[in-house]
Structure formats: structure tokens, C-alpha cells
Amino acid sequence: MLEIGQATYDEIVAHARRDHPDEACGVVAGPAGSDRPTRFVPMLNAARSPTFYEFDSQDLLALYREMDERDEEPVVIYHSHTATEAYPSRTDIALAMEPTAHYVLVSTRDPDSVEFRSYRIVDGAVTEEEVRVLAAL
């Protein structure tokens, strides 16, 4: 299960809408081992593509250094799908390299509604999980 604060949920959705039709991406960092996503970190999609995302490699290094210094880990790794459902693609599954992260997918294919779903992806296996949005985390 993913527990996430309303404010962070809203920030992720707003980021996805803002970058549509390109895929948006980022993380929500949290204290290592806590499973609490507390710090929203939107990232540049270096691919700037409607069908692919990749964190810029220097941004990635800076992010991981920063999380290391703050004793954090990437609790949520999110990205958006702009024309398809909020379900991990084969590419998403093949490239998921953080076994303890919650992989959040947002779909912006419908301008009037949003799909926000979360998954664990471990060793190529995808398991959807419940998303519980709390007033405050």
C-alpha cells in the first residue's frame, strides 16, 4: 500500500498535467526505511517525449547525493503516460531498478479526469497496490 499526503498527490498530478503531452517524471523522497514519501522532487524529463522519460544523468547524480546527505531514499518514483493507461509498460518494467520504491503512474490521457495508480516492480514482477491519500502524512 502507498500512503501519500494530499498535497504531494496534488503536486504530482499538477506536474503531469503541466508537462502533458510529454511524460512528466520525478520522485518523492522520504527518510530511509520509513516508507513515507515526504519530499516532492519533480525532475526534468531529458527525453522530453510523449512516450519516454529519463532523468538527466547529472540531475540524477545530484539527486542521489542529496538524498544520501539527508539520509533519504526515493520512496516514490513517478511518471506519467499521456495517451495510455496508468499501468507500467514493458519498458517501465525492464528499467525499474529500485526494488523498494513505489512506482506511481499517472495518466493524463483524459483532460477531465486523472488516473493515479501505484505498483511495486521487483525482478520484473508488477504488483498493483492500494493508494491511500491522507490529509497529511
Partner 1 sequence: MSIEVRIPTILRQYTGGEKAVEGSGGTLSELIDDLESRHSGLRDRLVDDKGLRRFVNVYLNDEDVRFLGGLETSVKDGDNVTVLPAVAGG
Report the residue number, 57 or 113, with the smaller CB distance to partner 1: 57
| Residues 59, 123: Cα–Cα separation, whole Å | 26
Only one of the segments 3-11, 58-66, 110-118, 129-137 lies at the binding site for partner 1 (rule: CB under 8 A); that segment is 58-66
Among positions 88, 102, 116, 119, the unique one binding partner 1 when judged by CB under 8 A? 88
Q: Is 52 in the site for partner 1 (CB under 8 A)?
A: yes
| Residues 73, 63: Cα–Cα separation, whole Å | 10
Q: For residue 58, what is its C-alpha cell?
A: 547529472
Only one of the segments 1-9, 14-22, 49-57, 125-133 lies at the binding site for partner 1 (rule: CB under 8 A); that segment is 49-57
List Cβ neighbours of 132 (8 Å cut-off, separation of 6 or more). Answer: 1, 2, 3, 4
Q: Is 37 in the site for partner 1 (CB under 8 A)?
A: no
Continuous segment of H or E residues that includes residue 126:
strand 125-129
Residues 90-119 that bind partner 1 (CB under 8 A): 91-92, 95-100
What DSSP state is assigned to residue 18? H
DSSP β-ladder status, 72-81 and 39-43: unpaired
Give contact residues for partner 1 (rule: CB under 8 A).
Answer: 23, 25, 27, 43, 47, 51-55, 57-58, 60-61, 64, 74, 77, 79, 88-89, 91-92, 95-100
